A and B are shown apart, each in its own frame.
Chain A
Amino acid sequence: MAYTKRVDGRKQKEIRPITAQAGVIKNADGSAYFKIGNTVAYAAVYGPRELHPKFMQDPSTGILRCNYNMMPFAGMGNRVRPGQNRRAKEISMVTEKALLPVVDLKEFPNAVVDVFIELPQTDAGSRCAGICAASIALADAGIPMKDLVSAVSVGTVDGTIIVDLDYMEEAYDASVADIPIAYIPSTDELSLLQMDGEITKDTLLEALELGKQACREIIEIQKKALKEKYLVSGEENE
């Protein structure tokens, strides 16, 4: 019994509706709001700024520091005690690795660019939403970046490859593979790849191609969010 009809009626390759906005947190140097389906992520970038503790400073380059956190009421069920648990620590780390290939922090020796991701509401795909939001926020902050990074989950449910799994699909009562990826379009490379579940190599490669396609769609939305904030055309000189 293959999974032919998705729980929320979406097509196989269809991603959930996305809302993205840049510059939503006034105090931050760059920020973004990224909503995909019912998963919402805020990202704020502060930096380059002074880095403490001193032993973490790198005289050859600035460092990127990511902090991912779910608000206590963001889970589908019980309240989650605040404070960074192991899952959040791991996600913070893979988020950093997902963004690092595109940022160039050589101009900022000994300094840090801090990225904070907070989610008030989640419905699967939270680390991917976080990465998408963080990418917009970093660009908004004027950080030198070769490209934007986009992220989405791909996977299989009962043998059918789908894109952008939601909570019901992750928890589906059948064989599920959940594969979050992050993608850099200009180099056609993946900077995040994780998997829960079971899959064959061929199916995986097929799923990854679909994932990249979805990421290319999402990148356009991220770009639009940035351009909308900076709605600029016309002369600066008088």
Chain B
Amino acid sequence: MEQIPILKIGDCLLVSIQVDMHDRLAMSLQDDLTAKIVATRARGVMIDISALEVVDSFIGRMLNNIAAMSRVLDAATVVVGMQPAVAITLVELGLALTGVRTALNVDKGLALIRRLIDGEEGGLDRREG
């Protein structure tokens, strides 16, 4: 069965979407990623969509869901590499992707995740373990 690989780098998970996903594949990525956050105790999730030429409302909803689910699981999600034409289209479509943090590229995304995780260190709700 086709699957989108999820790579673990330190305490972060990296997903690079390189194919035009049909809806079931998008749903299974959402499920796989949530399971993997729990299994690896990841604190950050980076989703690279630089190869995606289209983000419609279904894929947009998936990105929203992943961000919301990982937040509940105490991990920060950053979406990186959105193409300008995709960004323009998303806004016109009416999908603001509120709740999803974005960065221009993988480097900036990693730095943002680092800041998000470090910003929480020492906080009262820091996760044990």
Query: Do A and B assemble together?
Result: no
A interface with B by C-beta (< 8 Å): none
